[in-house]
């Protein structure tokens, strides 16, 4: 992808333009540049990065990207396609059914993930799990482990990935160093999905079932009405 700013301060993006998952409307949308740094200023100061303000074509909200500068020439400033998203799309989770402490810890975990801090995400996921173990007791912990085993089978996780997930969530802080495996973008992506399913199975599904059952009992017609 060739990206450059010309001498008239216009941003040129070849081929498809820039499309990403918008941090505001969560759709995969194209971006249109609205604030491009001046060619003259860039050439005079020669920074390592150039920041460009866009709007999302779907929702019109602002999106900011930072591009490494590849080269300064007489008629263009060439930018690298490896841009950095200043604000990444957030994962959506139904968190309202979680115990309060776990909810606030996991919200921070998701902020780490959105910021691309994958090991911080891993650490906060472990703290979320520790809070849940405290809340649910030893039996609850075993049930959570069973759910993780189910996820392993359903999602066909390989041994290595499963080992990492188990160590992150069920490992102990007193384990020999390093007591937590390092997480890269891929591992963190798997952990997001594991957490989503784990929390859904443990809390959301149960809460929704209970809600639905209460509703059924409430609206069920009495026997005399059914017979009439």
- Chain contacts with Zn ion (rule: CB under 5 A): 22, 24-25, 56, 58-59
Helices (H), the chain: 39-45, 100-114, 118-154, 159-170, 185-199, 205-219, 223-227
Q: Which is nearer to Zn ion, 34 or 59 (CB)?
A: 59
**Shortest distance in whole angstroms from residue 21 CB to Zn ion:** 9
User: Which C-beta is closer to Zn ion: that of 24 or that of 90?
Assistant: 24
* Structure-token pair, residue 185: 């973008």
Own/partner pairs, 47-51, CB within 8 angstroms, 24+ separation:
49/84, 50/5, 50/77, 50/79, 51/86
Of residues 28 and 155, the one with the C-beta less far from Zn ion = 28
**Which three-class secondary structure state does DSSP give residue 174?**
coil
Provide the minimum distance between the beta carbon of 63 and Zn ion in the complex, in angstroms, as a whole number.
7
Q: Provide, rounded to whole angstroms, the least separation between the CB of residue 27 and Zn ion.
A: 6
Q: What does the block give as tokens for 22?
A: 């918008």
Closer to Zn ion by CB, 18 or 169: give it: 18
Q: Which is nearer to Zn ion, 54 or 93 (CB)?
A: 54
Least Å from the CB of residue 11 to Zn ion: 19
CB of 58 to Zn ion, least distance (A): 4
Q: How far is the CB of 10 from Zn ion (least distance, A)?
A: 23
Closest C-alpha to 48, from 64, 71, 18: 71
Integer Cα distance of 92 and 101 in angstroms: 18
Nearer to Zn ion, 22 or 79 (CB): 22
Q: Of the two residues 34 and 71, which places its CB atom closer to Zn ion in the complex? A: 34
User: Least distance (Å) from Zn ion to the CB of residue 26?
Assistant: 8
Cβ neighbors of 104 (< 8 A, separation 6 or more) are none
- Name residue 51's beta-bridge partners: 66
Measure CA 51 to chain center: 23
First vs last C-alpha separation in the chain: 72
Sequence-separated (6 or more) residues with CB below 8 Å from residue 206: 97
């Amino acid at each position: 992808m060739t990206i450059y700013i010309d001498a008239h301060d216009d941003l040129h993006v070849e081929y498809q333009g820039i499309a990403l998952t918008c941090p505001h409307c969560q759709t995969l949308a194209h971006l249109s540049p609205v604030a491009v740094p001046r060619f003259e200023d860039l050439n005079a100061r020669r920074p390592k990065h150039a920041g460009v303000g866009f709007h999302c074509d779907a929702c019109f909200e602002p999106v900011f990207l930072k591009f490494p500068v590849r080269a300064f020439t007489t008629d263009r400033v060439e930018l690298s396609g490896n841009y950095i998203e200043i604000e990444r799309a957030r994962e959506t989770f139904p968190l309202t059914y979680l115990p309060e402490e776990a909810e606030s810890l996991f919200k921070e975990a998701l902020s780490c993930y959105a910021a691309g801090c994958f090991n911080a995400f891993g650490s906060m996921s472990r703290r979320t799990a520790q809070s849940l173990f405290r809340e649910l007791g030893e039996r609850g912990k075993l049930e959570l482990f069973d759910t993780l085993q189910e996820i392993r089978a359903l999602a066909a996780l390989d041994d290595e990935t499963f080992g990492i997930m188990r160590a992150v969530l069920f490992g102990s802080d007193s384990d020999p160093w390093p007591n937590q495996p390092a997480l890269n973008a891929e591992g963190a992506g798997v952990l997001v999905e594991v957490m989503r399913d784990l929390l859904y199975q443990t809390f959301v599904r149960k809460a929704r079932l209970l809600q639905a059952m209460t509703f059924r009992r409430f609206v069920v017609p009495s026997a005399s009405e059914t017979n009439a």
